[in-house]
Amino acid sequence: MTIRIGLTGPIACGKSTVARHLRDAGASVVDADELARDVVEPGEPGFDAVVEAFGPDVVDANGGLDRRALAAIVFRDPDELRRLEAIVHPAVRVRVTAAVTAAEAAAAPAVVVEAIKLVEGGYAALCDEVWLVDCSPPAQRERLGRRGLSAADATARLATQAGLADRLRPSATRVIETSGDITQTRRLVLAAYADALAAART
Which residue in 2, 4, 23, 15 sits closest to 126, CA to CA?
A: 4
Would you place residue 201 in the very low, low, confident or very high pLDDT band (cuts 50, 70, 90)? confident
pLDDT of residue 127: 95
Task: Report how far Cα 76 is from the mean position of its chain's Cα atoms.
Answer: 20
For residues 58 and 141, the answer to whether their CB atoms sit within 8 Å is no
> Is residue 9 scored above 90 in pLDDT?
yes
| Distance, CA of 15 to CA of 31 (rounded, Å) | 10
pLDDT of residue 3: 97
pLDDT of residue 146: 86
> Is residue 153 scored above 90 in pLDDT?
no
pLDDT tens-place string over residues 101-148 = 999 999 999 999 999 889 988 899 999 999 999 998 888 888 988 888
Rounded to two decimals, the pTM is: 0.86
> Is residue 160 scored above 80 in pLDDT?
no
> Which CATH number does the domain housing residue 142 bear?
3.40.50.300
SS3 at position 135: coil
pLDDT tens-place string over residues 76-89 = 898 999 999 999 99
> Is residue 25 scored above 80 in pLDDT?
yes
Instruction: Identify any residues that bridge with 29 across adjacent strands, giving them in sequence order.
Output: 112
Q: Give residue 43's domain range.
A: 3-201
> Is residue 162 scored above 80 in pLDDT?
no
- Count of domains forming the chain: 1
Averaged pLDDT for residues 10-21:
94
pLDDT of residue 165: 84
DSSP per residue over 41-70, as a string?
A: STTSHHHHHHHHHH-GGGB-TTSSB-HHHH
pLDDT of residue 87: 96
pLDDT tens-place string over residues 30-78 = 999 899 999 999 999 999 999 999 999 999 999 999 999 999 999 889 8
Averaged pLDDT for residues 171-190:
95
| Average model confidence (pLDDT) across the chain | 93
> How is residue 133 annotated by DSSP?
E
